[in-house]
Structure 1
Amino acid sequence: MKNKSLKFSALALAFLLAISSVLPSCKNMTGTQKGAAIGAGAGAGVGALIGKAAGNTLVGALIGTAVGGTAGAYIGKYMDKQKKEIEETVPNAKVEEVNNGEALKVTFDSKVLFDINKYALKDQSKNAVKQLNEILIKYPDTEVKILGHTDDTGKDDYNMKLSQQRADAVKDYALSLGVNAKRLTAIGYGESQPIADNTTAEGRTENRRVEFLISANDQLKAKAKQQQSQR
């Protein structure tokens, strides 16, 4: 028990040091600046801890994979351009920088895309998804994970199935618009990753969502590292 406590304390200290070293300087940075300022020094393990604390282990694991340096700045600039276009052209989309600005998370409330307990995309919501996918096609050097989430109303297995069906529906629509299938992965998380309080109506609404996690693919990383080697 003592060894476990010491190990946990050391891990917690490393976590706090990593957080304290990056947060003050990143508050007002663009994705380009974050990519340049923060490398992979925090490590995937710390990134996973950050994500677990935030309730999203997938995004957390991604945080620790940042390239950093000149290469990170190159990727960050690529993401900055996409972020600006999404914010300007896609209605009802919330856009956030993750992975030190080297990736984007685009969130739609499920009510925007689907009727309650349904997984067929609403006709009126298809235009928003179409606009996002037009931007994805314009920036081909990314991988896109489509993540479905529910609140905790109902049975766990039903929520898991519904979240997967919704993620699949969005993916299928993206494919019909011409997005390369190799870029897309659809994952259902059910009720396992809430971002708000499930005991309130407002919280449950926030938890019912679909996220697009947009990150650099191998080609973009190679281009970024090439840029770094030329500096």
Structure 2
Amino acid sequence: MNKGVLALAATTLLLAGCSTINPYTGERQTSNAARLGVGGAFVGGVVGAMFNSDDRLKGALIGAGIGGVAGGATGVYMDNQEAKLREEMAGTGVTITRTGDQILLNMPGSITFEVNEADLRDDFENNLDGVAAILVEYPDTLIVISGHTDSTGSLALNQRLSEERAQSVADYLQSQGVQSVRIIPVGAGPNRPIADNSTAEGRAANRRVELVLEPIEQEDLQ
């Protein structure tokens, strides 16, 4: 089991029963250690904790030519990345939240996937093109992609759908040049709602994909 990937996914989402795909084996992994969800809040120190627990991922990032951001430059690095993302995503329906050195992109279901489907909508691909170009420009950024569903249907169905949607976004970003080692897809199913599932509006808000961007610093790779 890749403890580093599980640690990152659990720390970022803090979800019980959260599934992620091990980038080394391609197998699904489930973390049952976490008990709380974040719903737009952020957790600091994610990358540092990950690298402390998994030298393989650190080695893979180094092997991919990722050198990390110098500690004193991290804030400016994320500031510039955030500014470009806000400009690129203006008017698309994607919302951006910044907390500390982490950036959250919330991509609602109305622009991402058709109901019960995991194939990217054509207009969503256009939005992802802009995101991918910026992520390629900023190679010292780790990306956690989490798929979320409403509570309609079975838990197993929603879990699988959320995983497939996160993987679809991951695959598309990779096809646009973002290194796969930087991307961690996570399926959260219906476990982390941000709105009331008893209303149509709430269910629509809960059907979403989130990208959490975290800087990789030079000290993480040492």
Q: Same fold per TM (> 0.5)?
A: yes
In the alignment, is the contact (CA less than 8 A) between 1:92 and 1:128 conserved in 2?
no
SS of aligned partner of 2:190: coil
Alignment partners' CA distance in 2, 1:121 and 1:138:
23
TM-score normalised by L of structure 2: 0.68
Report the Cα offset of residue 72 of structure 1. Answer: 6.7
**Within-5 A mapping of 1:46-61:** 55-56=37-38, 60=42
CA distance in 2, matches of 1:127, 1:215: 23
Which of the pair is proportionally richer in strand? 2
Asked if the contact 1:95–1:107 (Cα under 8 Å) also holds between the matched residues in 2, the reply is: yes
* TM-score scaled by length of structure 1: 0.65
Dislocated runs of 4+, deviation >4 Å: 57-60, 64-67, 220-223
Q: How many residues align?
A: 168
Change (3 A) 1:118 1:220: farther
Rate the CA distance shift 1:217–1:72 in 2: closer, same or farther, 3 A.
closer
User: Equivalent residue for 2:129?
Assistant: 130
What's the CA shift string for 1:107-131, capped at 9, x where partnerless? Answer: 1002201111000001121110110
More helix by percentage: 1
| Conservation of the 8 A alpha-carbon contact between 1:150 and 1:159 | yes
The residue aligned with 1:182 is 181
The within-5 A match list for 1:79-98 is 79-90=78-89, 91-98=92-99
Which structure has more relative contact order (CA 8 Å, sep 6+)? It is 2
- CA distance change for structure 1 residues 112 and 141 in 2, over 3 Å: closer, same or farther? same
Aligned twin of 2:44: 63
Give me the identity figure in percent: 35
Distance 2:219 2:124 in 1: 30
Offset, 1:221: 5.4
Q: What is the aligned-residue RMSD (CA, Å)?
A: 2.7
The code of the aligned residue for 1:195 comes to: I
Q: What amino acid is the match of 1:56?
A: V
2:47–2:220 contact (8 Å) kept in structure 1: no
1:65-112 CA distance string (max 9 Å, x none): 599xxx8763222111111111111222211113xx211011100220
Larger Rg: 1
Q: After TM superposition, give the deviation of residue 59 of structure 1 in Å.
A: 5.4
Aligned-residue offset at 1:187: 0.5
Equivalences for 1:1-231 in 2 at 5 Å? Answer: 55-56=37-38, 60=42, 62-63=43-44, 74-90=73-89, 91-98=92-99, 101-219=100-218
